[in-house]
């Protein structure tokens, strides 16, 4: 439990650092995905990229909180519909999580990797990024 809380705090600190690097007047969407299984969480915020993603911070057991390499990640992000899908293909690096798919619709999500399926809750926030 302590490791899970430490991972969540690390993710929050990284997200705040990313958000404060943007304009204080900017608006956007922030998505938090959390599982009951310790060690898995994602924070995503919208931005100016063509795919709508401004940044992502994920925590994974035994892997440092981090973003994902863009060349290995496919996104579908539709904040107005509360729908997001991330497909990550590990390029053979041990410092990254295994290949996975994260599908979020509304307040529920599913993280699939290896032969595991982990359900979780999603929290969507919209407004001024300065509020986060």
pLDDT of residue 52: 64
Give the domain ranges of the chain: 2-127
Q: What is the mean pLDDT of residues 74-92?
A: 88
Q: What does each C-alpha distance from 90 to 35, 58, 63, 127 come to in angstroms?
A: 21, 14, 13, 33
| Rounded distance between C-alpha atoms, residue 41 and residue 35, angstroms | 7
pTM of the shown model: 0.74
Listed range (7-11, 16-20, 37-41, 128-132) with the worst mean pLDDT: 16-20
Do 21 and 14 form a contact (C-beta atoms < 8 A)?
no
Cα angle for residues 17, 23, 27 (degrees, 5° grid): 95
Segment 18-70, tens digit of pLDDT: 444 444 344 567 889 999 888 899 988 876 555 666 778 899 999 888 888 88
């Amino acid at each position: 439990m302590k490791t899970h809380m430490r991972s969540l705090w690390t993710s929050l600190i990284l997200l705040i650092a990313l958000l404060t690097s943007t304009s204080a007047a900017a608006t956007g969407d922030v998505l938090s995905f959390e599982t009951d299984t310790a060690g898995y969480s994602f924070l995503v915020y919208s931005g100016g990229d063509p795919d709508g993603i401004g940044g992502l911070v994920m925590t994974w057991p035994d892997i440092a909180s981090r973003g994902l390499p863009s060349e290995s990640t496919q996104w579908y992000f539709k904040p107005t519909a509360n729908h997001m899908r991330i497909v990550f293909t590990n390029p053979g690096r041990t410092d990254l999580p295994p290949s996975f798919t994260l599908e979020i619709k509304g307040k529920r999500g599913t993280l699939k990797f290896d032969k595991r399926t982990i359900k979780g809750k999603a929290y969507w926030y919209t407004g001024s990024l300065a509020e986060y």
